[in-house]
Chains A and B, each alone.
Chain A
Amino acid sequence: MRLELSWIDYLIMIIYFIFVLGIGWFLRKFMKNANAFLEAGRSIPAWVAGLAFISTNLGALEVMGMTGSGMKYGMLTTHFYWIGAIPAMIFLALFMMPFYYGSKARSVPEFLKLRYDEKTRGLNAILFAVMTILASGISMYALAILMEKVLGWDFNLSLWVSALIVLGYTYLGGLSSAIYNEVLQFFIIVIGLLPLVFLSLKDVGGWSGLKESLAPLATANGYAPDTYTTTWKYAGEAASNPLGVEWFGILFGLGFVLSFGYWCTNFLIVQRAFAAESKSAARKVPLIGALPKMFIPFLIIVPGIIALVLFNDPGKGFDLPLDAGGKPIYDYTIIMLLKQYLPAGVLGLGITALLASFMSGMAGNVSAFNTVWTYDIYQSYIRKRTGNEEADGKHYLNVGRISTVAGVLLSIASAYIASKFGNIMDFLQTIFSMINAPLFAVIFLGMFWKRTTGHAAFTGLLLGFLMALLHHGLTVPEGATTLVKGGWIASLYTYPVEMAQNFWTAIIAFAVSTSVTVGLTVVTKQQKTDAELYGLVYSLTPRTLKEEGPWYYRPLGLAIIVGVICVILSILFW
Chain B
Amino acid sequence: MVDIRIPIGLMFTILGVLITIFGFTTMNNGEMYIKSLGINVNIIMGILMLIFGLIMLFLTRKKKAA
Contact = CB atoms under 8 A, between A and B. Distances in A.
Interface of A: 8, 11-12, 15-16, 19, 22-23, 26-27, 30, 41, 43, 48, 176, 180, 183-184, 187, 191, 194-195, 199, 202-203, 340-346, 349
B54 interface: no
Interface class of chain B by DSSP: helix
Contacts, number: 91
Nearest to A191: B49
B47 interface: no
A344 B11 contact: no
Contact of A346 (B11, B37, B42): B42
A184 B22 contact: no
Given A341-B36, A342-B35, A343-B26, 11 more contacts: A23-B4, A27-B1, A30-B1, A41-B1, A180-B2, A191-B48, A194-B45, A199-B41, A341-B35, A342-B41, A346-B19
B44 to A, nearest CB: 8
Interface residues of B, number: 29
Contacts of B46: 345
A522 B52 CA distance: 58
Given A43-B1, A191-B45, A191-B49, A199 B36 contact: yes
Contacts of B4: 23, 48, 180, 183-184
Contact of B19 (A19, A23, A345): A345
B41 A12 contact: no
Contacts of B49: 191
A26 B3 CA distance: 11
B2 A195 contact: no
Contacts of B37: 199, 202-203, 341
A409 to B, nearest CB: 28
A457 to B, nearest CB: 37
B36 A343 contact: yes
Contacts of B48: 191
A337 to B, nearest CB: 11
Given A15-B15, A184-B7, A349-B19, A191 B1 contact: no
Contacts of A194: 45
B35 A343 contact: yes
B55 to A, nearest CB: 11
A195 B7 contact: no
B19 A12 contact: yes
B1 A11 contact: no
Interface string B1-35: 11010011011101100110011001000001101
A43 B19 CA distance: 35
Given A340-B35, A342-B41, A349-B45, A187 B12 contact: yes
A22 B7 CA distance: 9
Nearest to A352: B15
8 contacts: A15-B18, A183-B4, A195-B45, A199-B41, A342-B36, A344-B22, A345-B23, A346-B36
Contacts of B15: 12, 15-16, 349
A343 B8 contact: no
A203 B36 CA distance: 9
A23 B12 CA distance: 15
Given A43-B1, A191-B49, A15 B11 contact: yes
B31 to A, nearest CB: 9
B8 A184 contact: yes
Nearest to B39: A199
B22 A345 contact: yes
Nearest to A339: B35
A26 B7 CA distance: 11
A191 B8 CA distance: 12
A43 B18 CA distance: 34
B41 to A, nearest CB: 5
A187 B41 CA distance: 18
A16 B8 CA distance: 10
A549 to B, nearest CB: 16
B3 to A, nearest CB: 10
A202 B35 CA distance: 12
The 6 closest A-B pairs by CB, nearest first: A345-B42, A19-B11, A180-B4, A345-B22, A343-B32, A195-B41
A31 B32 CA distance: 47
A194 B4 CA distance: 22
B11 A345 contact: no
B5 to A, nearest CB: 9
B2 A26 contact: yes
Contacts of B18: 8, 11-12, 15
A19 B10 contact: yes
Nearest to B29: A343
B52 A195 contact: no
